[in-house]
Amino acid sequence: MNPSLTKKQIAQAKAYCTSERADLEVDPRVEALVNELLGRVADKWTMLVIEVLTTGGEMRFTRIAEAIGGISQKMLTQTLRQMERDGLLVRTVHPVIPPHVDYRLTKMGDSLAEAFCGVWQWAGQHLERIEKARREFDARTAK
């Protein structure tokens, strides 16, 4: 898959949602790239870290782990590194002993948090309706 992206393709991706999307043909390569990105960026732990840092501001390793609860050191390190690599957060090492490392979201990280808000709100608003739909479906198919 081609990792480069033309201006036109980005314009398409942007236009995708804002316009009436009746017969807008989106280049499959844009889709592939955006999906690959979403797959990495929107995983469980990343979302939780974003949430914690959004509400807590700058925090250090152990405090993030406590705030999330139920994450292993391994997974937290992994997630944090990935997010740093993607430019979603900055990692500041204070060379003291014992070690002290701070994490905070970048502007891009903040903007991702905002983008997620739509989905987050949707989930809050539709939670009950989904649970109802599930109950009905299960009742229907149990027969």
Point out which residues bind a second copy (CB under 8 A). 3, 5, 10, 13-14, 16-18, 21, 24, 26, 28, 30-31, 33-35, 37-39, 41-42, 44, 47-48, 51, 54-55, 69, 84-87, 108, 111-112, 114-134, 137-138
Footprint on residues 73-132 left by DNA (CB under 7 A) = 73-75, 77, 80-81, 91, 97-101
Q: Burial code of 82-121, b = ≥16 C-beta within 10 A, e = fewer?
A: bbeebebbeeeeeeeeeeeebbebeeebbebbeebeeeee
DSSP-derived secondary structure letter, 97: S
DSSP state of 69: -
Interacting span for DNA (CB under 7 A) from 8-16, 65-73, 109-117, 119-127: 65-73
